[in-house]
Amino acid sequence: MQSLSGMNIFLVIISLFFLLIGIIYQPLPKDFPQPWKYRFLSYWAQRIDRVGYYCEQMNLFTRVDLIRNLHYFSIGLFQKRHPECRLKVYDRKIANVSVRIYEPEESIDYEKKTVMIYFHGGGFLLGSIETYDQATYLLANLTRTILIAVEYRLAPEHRFPSGLEDCLSVSRELFKNGKNYQINSNRIIMSGDSAGGNLALVVSHSLINDGYKPYLLSLLYPSLQFFDFTLPSYRMYLKQNILGVLNENNLLSMVSLLSKNHIQITEDIFLNSHVSIDDKKKLYPFIDPNKYLSISHEVNETQQGNEDLINDLKFLLSPLMSPLLVSDQQLIQLPKILLFTTEFDILRDEGFIFASRLNSLNKTIYHHHFSNAFHGAHVFLYGPLRFEIAHEMIEHTAQIIRNHLGNCVRHRVGCIIADTDQRIVVTGYNGVSDNIKACNQGGCTRCCDMSIECICIHAEESSLFEAGRCLCRNATLYVKHNPCRQCSKKIIQNGIKRVV
């Protein structure tokens, strides 16, 4: 009798297990990283999202607040600080906007430093310097730049363009008064992911119009346009509930919360009914998938749209919200761009269109596609929701940024000096001295004409100058290539013990 009862319990457990598997199962692309962890995460996020919807109907709290808390408890709780990273982390205000600063301890007081301004993602509704802390901390550690994460205002509490204004205020202050912050205004990197990538690109356009020039633009699966919701990646992935919350209903809700009048957004927006006939004819050439994706993609330019949506969502088609919808001349003026896209992502195709447009203009761009990653993956670095692909994405992004920190076009060489405890003392790169035009700005013409003497400082020289003789004594120097004869003499003279 007891064995029969035990068998019944076993069968019930097995049945419940397979029922749970059946409920949470979600078809995923081949080679998708840690698929079952993703399925559990996506399933429970979707359930909590539904709970938020019902609570909102009962006026208990808003769905956005619930998702923000879910975002924090799944990511923000797992902050990590590693003393061996030698990063100073502190909060302050710049231009009356809260920021979090990650500063490598090896930065020398008198040195004008390279800075990365980072805008977090979250659809303009979610995210904060707290929830993104682990990602920005790791990125700052791996690049050894001063990283400034901006706590810009979010919708729906603050409507468009409040968040953009915060990002512009911080950026303009750093470009205008860099000396006050001991940073090199000629070496400011604009960076962000998703909605933050959108902000980084929009801010870069505005800075260039103001006469400033960012050093680099690093974008991770950026949101680039709100013009065409019929692109293949939208049609393919919107219905698959990426992370359980990136779906049709929440996209409608996001657009509604961003709109000035909090209007009700109808599903015909997915057929581009928010775009007038005139705007279709004027703006379609900027994203034409037939040209830039080499696919057959039909757009009915004579189909009438929804007049209510057209009037209320006009702001979505502005370059301040859709930075891809700008002229070729504006794209040409951008700095070198590092673009990272993911496969499992509704924003995948607009990223590819952006890259294709830049290539057609002979604009320098580095584009890497993570073929086995999903949108938002890079923040799942620690805790029970850790994804290995997150570390791969941050590490690859940091490596590419490091590769482009030197401003010598012909030889991109980096150098690190570490003390006897193997802590980084200083970093250096091939390039010209401060206040001299870089190679890519026409300063050192040898990169184009080998008969002309080079004016660039080697990475080893740059590191030795910044460290000084005291910090070099018995230290180890790491460099990408074998030092030249002149650098070797200086390395010996400064007391470097070992070269790797």
User: Which CATH number belongs to the domain containing residue 96 in this structure?
Assistant: 3.40.50.1820
* Cβ-contact 183, 146 below 8 angstroms: yes
User: Residues 6 or more apart from 143 whose CB is under 8 A from it?
Assistant: 116, 398, 401, 402, 405
Pairing of strands 476-479, 146-150: unpaired
Most confident of 37-41, 58-62, 95-99, 415-419: 95-99
Residue 296 lies in a domain: yes
Residue 195 lies in a domain: yes
Q: For the purposes of burial, counting CB atoms within 10 Å of the CB of 384, is it exposed (0-12), middle (13-18) or buried (19 or more)?
A: exposed
Q: Are residues 436 and 398 in the same domain?
A: no
Q: Are residues 324 and 426 in the same domain?
A: no
Omega cis (within 30) before 483: no
Span of 18-32, 152-166, 185-199 with lowest mean pLDDT: 18-32
pLDDT at 384: 87
- Out of 405, 433, 464, a domain closes at 405
Residue 22 lies in a domain: no
Of residues 439 and 363, the one with the higher pLDDT is 363
Of residues 97 and 143, the one with the higher pLDDT is 97
8 band by pLDDT with thresholds 50, 70 and 90? low
pLDDT at 366: 94
Q: Are residues 111 and 221 in the same domain?
A: yes
Q: Are residues 448 and 399 in the same domain?
A: no
Q: Are residues 474 and 365 in the same domain?
A: no
- Out of 384, 405, 426, a domain closes at 405
Does residue 30 have a pLDDT over 90? no
| Residue 357 in tokens | 């447009």
Q: Are residues 186 and 224 in the same domain?
A: yes
Q: Are residues 317 and 249 in the same domain?
A: yes
Residue 143 sits in which domain range? Answer: 30-405
pLDDT at 110: 42
Span of 58-72, 98-112, 234-248 with lowest mean pLDDT: 98-112
Residue 383 lies in a domain: yes
**At 373, is the secondary structure helix, strand, or coil?**
strand
Q: Are residues 400 and 433 in the same domain?
A: no
Amino acid in the structure at residue 325: L
Residue 478 lies in a domain: yes
Does residue 322 have a pLDDT over 80? yes
Residue 302 lies in a domain: yes
Does residue 422 have a pLDDT over 60? yes
Instruction: Please state the separation of Cα 219 from the chain's center in Å.
Output: 5
Q: Are residues 366 and 219 in the same domain?
A: yes
Percent pLDDT > 70 in the chain is 86
Residue 415 CA to residue 69 CA, distance in Å, equals 42
Does residue 26 have a pLDDT over 90? no
The mean pLDDT value for 114-128 works out to: 95
Residue 3 lies in a domain: no
Omega cis (within 30) before 161: yes
Q: Are residues 86 and 58 in the same domain?
A: yes
The residues that bridge with 478 in the sheet, in sequence order, are 416
Name the domain count of the chain: 2
431 band by pLDDT with thresholds 50, 70 and 90? confident
Q: Are residues 399 and 461 in the same domain?
A: no
447 band by pLDDT with thresholds 50, 70 and 90? low
Residue 434 CA to residue 186 CA, distance in Å, equals 9
